[in-house]
Structure 1
Amino acid sequence: MRRWALAAKELEDSLYLPATALDAMASRFQQAMEQGLTGKGGSLKMLPSYLAGPTGKERGTFLALDFGGTNVRVALIELAGGQSRVLNRLSRPVRAADGRYDYSRQSATAEELFDFLASLIAETIGDHQGRFYLGHTFSFPARQENIGQATLIRWAKEFHTTGVEGHDVGQLLSDALARKGLKERVIPAAIINDTVGTLLTATYSDRHTRIGSIIGTGHNSCYLDRFVPAFQAPMVINMESGNFDGAPASVFDERLDGQSAQPGAQRLEKMVSGLYLGELLRLILLELIQTKGLFGGQASPVLERPYSLSAADLSDLQADGSAELSRVGDWLQARAAIEASEREERRLLQRIAAATACRSARLVAATYLAVLRHEDPALTLRHTIAIDGSLYEKMPGYAGALERALAELLAEKAGQVSVRLVKNGSEVGAAIAAAIVAAASD
């Protein structure tokens, strides 16, 4: 029916951000960067990493712990001067699918969570002999006083584990390693953010890398500042960009934020990251069902349950290229318990999913523009933006939408900037950070 095509166009228009809006957002983001760097507040923390980047010549075998979302990964990694090789790797969910454990819940303690991490480290080492420097990628808002210490500011990504906020995660891990009998074999050397890990990994082989970014379950970016006045030196700065509060928000963003565990926090992350895109889609669908009679005006119990949809659902919906959108129909039956739908209703659903994902990509592109302007106002240098994360890698059309937005914003300077996918940047980057610290302590 024609009305569903009109409804889709109306929603697409409400979610679409033209270049002028993105440019204005980039200016606000750059202002927030400068406020954070000079200690004048603002929504960007601009946290020092205490690392200036690798030389590309680091060598040896190091442990990497990557903890920042739904899965924890531990790897034993060999660095060989610009190249890396994983000798062993383990991955475990923080929340067991069968409900046996959930270390992210509020009733879980810091000791339980970090004992879980220590057990994975022990399993990863296995029969490998020697002592290992460990780099720890900790992908939550944390304040560092040095490279080996990081205090959790607050949980994000719906984590609520008790006894971690306000505490040094480096010490919590050291205590857990001691309880596990690993105190003499594992040397916690560096704590970094996953974005810093991505930047270090890319810089290890590409010296033009200026920005490291994660677009996955969560979202954050860092960059290499050529001169940080507080340290009188170059340094990688973890922006905690997911907390930026100057992005143009829709009524659905306001609704999602108000119903979240931490209203007012991580505003940009709630608009762009994989954890929240499914919820945005759910809220839009509920509005259409309740106010416009979509799918006969009957909302299923599934759609009435918060966070019942995920970014993977947006991917599935966009991937259907059939004339009748039969896969979207199958999705409605399997995921939303909606048995009957018209083709135009299915097309509406697909267009909303695509518009939600495209808006995410364009918002992220605006933040990159702000960083590029801050570091190189005339854009005379070459810049590589290194990105890791399932949303950027796997969401149909996402990478293309981001790169098109950058080209639109950079205009004739677009050729100065390239974007690359960096796989497992959090792991290799943690190993590189450990190697940098190990070299400095020799």
Structure 2
Amino acid sequence: MASTQTQTTWHSLPNEMKLAIIDNLDVEDVTALSRVDQRTYQACVPAQFKKVRLNDFEALEGFLENVPRAYCGYIEELDVCTERHDPHSTPVLPRFRADAVIAILSASLRLSKLTLRLSGSLDKSVIAPFPFLLNLKNLSISNCGDEAVTPLSERLVVSIAASVRNLEELSLDRITRSRMHAPELEGVYPCVPLASDDEDIPEHPTLAAELSLPSLLRIPTLSKLTIRDTHLGHEAWTTIPVLCRLQVLDIGSCYHEDDGFNTRCTERIMAAVGPTVDEFSLTAAVSDTVFSEADATPLQRLRKLHITPFFPVESVVDTMATLAGSPVETLSVQCFEEDVVDICTALEEFLSIRVARGPEFYNRLKQINVKVTAGGDDDEDEDVDMPSDEEKEERIQATKRLQAFCRDLSLKSVVDKSMPKAARNIDGGVKTTSFTDARRYHVKGRSMTL
């Protein structure tokens, strides 16, 4: 019997199969495929608009002008910046920036992850679309402007976050205390920037007028909270009723205050949310002995402890000893290249203390990881001194000694060097549509029924 071959063409495939194939292609391949014909272009639209990044206010305006509004319905991850491309150009009024953000959010109801890089506060009207973003679970808000000139008010940020009905992960960076909630900071050294003219932000249905940062703990769905480069001195962190069950906490230091102040703020927040926290990222030292006793520490469930590159190296050993009351299983330390030897030495000293104090001290510890980062924002500068061969060898030997010590104690250990910025994809390797594609979508779309 002769066999019969059936030839299947691209257009004969079910639409679901086409979408599955397109979803597994790289951005460049999707773009190339979309040029085949009109039907294929339409099939590629959802993948091309699944993740969108708009790097400045001009890009946001161009997107709204050139891209059919219906395409926003495909956006699941959105990264928007409201800063002007040319910092010396005429500033955009907060109301106009807010209108542009409202326009794209109101049309992006499938949104699950949103990053807002704001050049200072927006008009209060920007709060309006957030209660309708029912799929939004991950929200990141940062101030990309000069905090002293264009502060981003905590009242606006807290109101936005509390308006997201199903918010699970919240990340805040360089949020400015409101003069309304921090009158004690006005005119007092070290002259922490304060946001004003935010008294007109309407009361929230749940939080009422108390829109200070500690009120974030009243968001019941919140499970991960990150706050960086923000003043956390509000006394209400110790008295606010905690309605969320945080599992991951990442608290950074305020660069306007000293180490002692940042430590006190960190300890207050840890004490407030500690009973549910499983993972904690530490930037400031911890010294309160309440955290060292297993039956007294608020961090009863802490299993993963992360130490950031900005943590004071000289405080590593004491802080680890202070947190001995928690059932820590994994310790991860991130450091800059120039701190590798000091970090490895500090971790060896901690392990020596662990041996000396017996099996009950960090008895659940299973793994120590060290991640070496190339440096800060200036690591691509030509004037940065390169380490000598002797320094490189010293760092290599320090990591080998630490790993050998860990093996002797039956601990897993990984030392990993992160890639320099120049070698990394700005979007982390995910498929992200930038505004450079938007005009083409519009031009091609005009000849189609949308």
Q: TM-score, normalised by structure 2?
A: 0.26
User: Which structure dedicates a bigger proportion of its chain to strand?
Assistant: 1
Rg larger for? 2
User: Which structure dedicates a bigger proportion of its chain to helix?
Assistant: 1
